Structure formats: structure tokens, C-alpha cells
């Protein structure tokens, strides 16, 4: 593949926020690029004041619009309170852009755009769908990255839940909680976001969390989990078409991972996966380097590295159109996310 151009979306310390993290990207049928990220008041703090930031591009990702903050209609103003809006997930669905995000990791919100991401409707709380999942949690999150539309029009959002220790040493209100122990799973909608239903949650995958999904040719769904076990690689699972359970789970040793989020996309019959292809046996969390795109031509039976996006990496999301791939990623240096970059590759 050929790198066509690189666009810097956000940079550390620029604008109204300090750090920009947790990227998401989708491409609409009209070719509009929609991105989402977390704009954080403090660096390295998942529980700081965080805003969900949406941007759009109509020139293939070369330039982007001013930011849109979809939760502003709920009444919060910048600087008034410390609220952690987090884990945005986007879905491009015909003329609609669906968005799910979270408030203080305890409430889930849904809204959509019908004008190619120029504006979003007033968010609706869907926390009860997460409460209906068969696991007792005090932390909920989606994705991050993007969800998918199935061949039958079902919207599928990967999610994760945690039952974490309440950290009164960090916040006397009890707002802050650890993100483990955790499970992953999904929620879905069969009416284009009007209502949401609980799917499966993982069993037997220790501290499964940040997850990405594609639909297979069989109609089943392939889930790709961040792995917090000893293998230092991705964990894969296949769910039935009803999303009721995982029928098979395995450790994918051909996809090394430093315990970080990675993302998948399907184009025709090929799968593409992007993550930091590094494992460090000496530590639980490895260095986030060698951000790499992998390709599978046999629906995840085998994977091969295709190209390196950047030596320095972090969380990354991947989008595709008929001309090639989009990689939106954190470029981390010395443990700090310095910028969000978009790279456009063509076949």
C-alpha cells in the first residue's frame, strides 16, 4: 500500500484541552470522514475532565471541521464541573452516523447524526441496556473505536464492564474506580438505534476489555479482545449470529500486543487489523511501539504483517473505503500521547 498523506488532528497542549486520546474513525457512503476522540483536561488521567470531540472531513481527511461536542445539549459547560465523557464509538449506517459514549464510566448515552456529522441529536441514556448484561459492574464503557452494521442491518457495539475497587484515595466522592476485574461483550440494535439489546459477555478470558468486531461471511461475528493475560498477544472469539455467546476462543500468537487497544475492519473478503505489534515479556504493559497493519485473507485463520504505520504508537482505529485504508492513531513519545495523526493509504 502507498501512503498518500498524513494529517495532524490534535496536538498535546493545543486548544482548550491538554491531551487528546482514544481515536475513532468511520467513512460514510458519501465519503465523509467522521472522527471522535477524548479531549482531556489532564494528561495521563482517565478520570479527568474529558470531552467527546467530533470532527468531520469532506476532502478525504486532508482538512477537518471545527469540533462538535455532542453532549453539550445535556447542559454541561466547559470548566464548570469535572465530568469524564469517554469511550466514543461511531457507526456509519447509510445516511446516519451513530454515536455511543459514556459519562463517568457509569452512564451510557446514544445519539445520531442525519447530516453527515455536522450536528448530532440530543443524547438518550441507554444505561439500562448495560445493566441488563449478566454481570454486576460499577464501570461501563464501549469499544472504543467503531462498531459495525451487519448484513441484516443490525448495529453491533463492542463493550466492556468492570467491577473495580473504589479509589477513595483519589476522589472522596467515590467517582473513581479501577478498571479491573473486567469482562467484554456487546450490545446491539435491530431498529437503527431506537432501542438497544444486551448481547453476550465473555467467560474464561481474564480481564477482557477493549474490543473490536467484524462480521464473517458465515454471518457469525469475530471479536478481537485486548488481552491482559501472560501471552502478550490478542485474544480472538467467534460469536454466533444472535450474539448470544462465544462458540470459540483462542490466543492469536501471530498478533503480538503490549496490552493496548487495536482495531479491525473488513473490506470484501479481507480483514485488516492495526495495533502496536510489540510484546515485552518483562512487564505487564509493554511499550506501545511498531504500530502495524496486518492482513488476513482467510477470515482470521492466518495473519501477515502488511506495513508499519509508525515506530511510535498507541491506540489506533482503522477505516476503509474502496480506495484504501485510514489509520487514526495516537503517536506516543516517552509515555505521553503527543498528537493524533491520520494516515491515508491507497491500494
* pLDDT < 50 regions, the chain: 78
pTM summary value: 0.97
Within 13 A of 4's CA, how many CA atoms are on the CB side? 14
Domains of the chain, CATH where assigned: 2-74+81-346 (2.120.10.10)
* pLDDT tens column, 293-341: 999 999 999 999 999 999 999 999 999 999 999 999 999 988 899 999 9
| Cα-to-chain-centroid distance, residue 254 | 22
Written as nine digits, the cell of 258 is 503490549
The closest alpha carbon to 252, from 304, 289, 201, 217, belongs to 304
Task: Tell me: cis bond preceding 206? Omega within 30 of 0 counts.
Answer: no
The closest alpha carbon to 265, from 300, 228, 314, 315, belongs to 300
Angle, CA 173 vertex, CA 168 and CA 134 arms, to 5°: 85
112: three-class secondary structure by DSSP: strand
* pLDDT tens column, 204-258: 899 999 999 999 999 999 999 998 877 889 999 999 999 999 999 999 999 999 9
Amino acid at each position: 500500500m502507498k501512503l498518500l498523506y498524513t494529517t495532524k488532528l490534535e496536538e498535546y497542549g493545543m486548544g482548550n484541552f491538554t491531551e487528546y486520546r482514544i481515536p475513532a474513525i468511520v467513512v460514510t457512503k458519501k465519503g465523509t470522514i467522521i472522527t471522535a476522540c477524548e479531549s482531556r483536561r489532564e494528561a495521563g488521567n482517565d478520570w479527568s475532565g474529558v470531552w467527546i470531540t467530533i470532527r468531520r472531513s469532506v476532502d478525504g481527511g486532508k482538512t477537518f471541521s471545527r469540533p462538535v461536542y455532542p453532549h453539550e445539549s445535556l447542559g454541561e459547560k466547559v470548566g464548570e464541573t469535572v465530568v469524564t465523557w469517554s469511550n466514543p464509538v461511531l457507526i456509519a449506517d447509510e445516511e446516519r452516523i451513530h454515536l455511543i459514549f459514556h459519562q463517568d464510566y457509569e452512564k451510557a448515552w446514544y445519539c445520531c447524526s442525519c447530516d453527515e456529522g455536522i450536528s448530532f441529536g440530543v443524547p438518550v441514556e441507554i444505561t439500562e441496556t448495560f445493566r441488563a448484561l449478566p454481570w454486576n459492574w460499577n464501570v461501563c464503557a464501549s469499544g472504543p473505536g467503531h462498531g459495525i452494521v451487519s448484513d441484516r442491518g443490525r448495529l453491533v457495539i463492542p463493550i466492556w464492564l468492570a467491577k473495580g475497587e473504589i479509589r477513595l484515595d483519589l476522589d472522596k466522592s467515590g467517582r473513581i474506580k479501577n478498571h479491573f476485574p473486567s469482562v467484554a461483550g456487546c450490545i446491539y440494535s435491530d431498529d437503527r438505534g431506537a432501542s438497544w439489546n444486551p448481547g453476550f459477555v465473555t467467560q474464561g478470558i481474564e480481564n477482557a476489555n477493549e474490543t473490536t468486531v467484524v462480521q464473517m461471511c458465515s454471518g457469525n461475528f469475530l471479536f478481537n479482545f485486548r488481552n491482559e493475560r501472560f501471552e502478550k498477544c490478542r485474544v480472538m472469539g467467534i460469536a454466533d449470529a444472535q450474539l448470544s455467546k462465544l462458540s470459540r476462543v483462542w490466543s492469536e500468537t501471530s498478533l503480538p500486543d503490549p496490552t493496548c487497544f487495536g482495531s479491525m475492519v473488513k473490506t470484501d473478503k479481507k480483514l485488516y487489523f492495526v495495533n502496536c505489534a510489540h510484546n515485552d515479556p518483562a512487564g505487564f504493559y509493554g511499550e506501545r511501539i511498531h504500530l502495524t497493519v496486518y492482513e488476513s485473507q482467510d477470515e482470521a485463520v492466518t495473519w501477515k504483517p502488511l506495513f508499519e504505520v509508525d515506530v511510535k504508537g498507541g491506540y489506533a482505529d482503522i477505516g476503509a473505503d474502496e480506495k484504501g485504508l485510514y489509520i487514526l492513531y495516537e503517536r506516543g513519545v516517552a509515555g505521553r500521547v503527543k498528537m493524533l495523526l491520520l494516515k491515508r493509504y491507497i491500494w
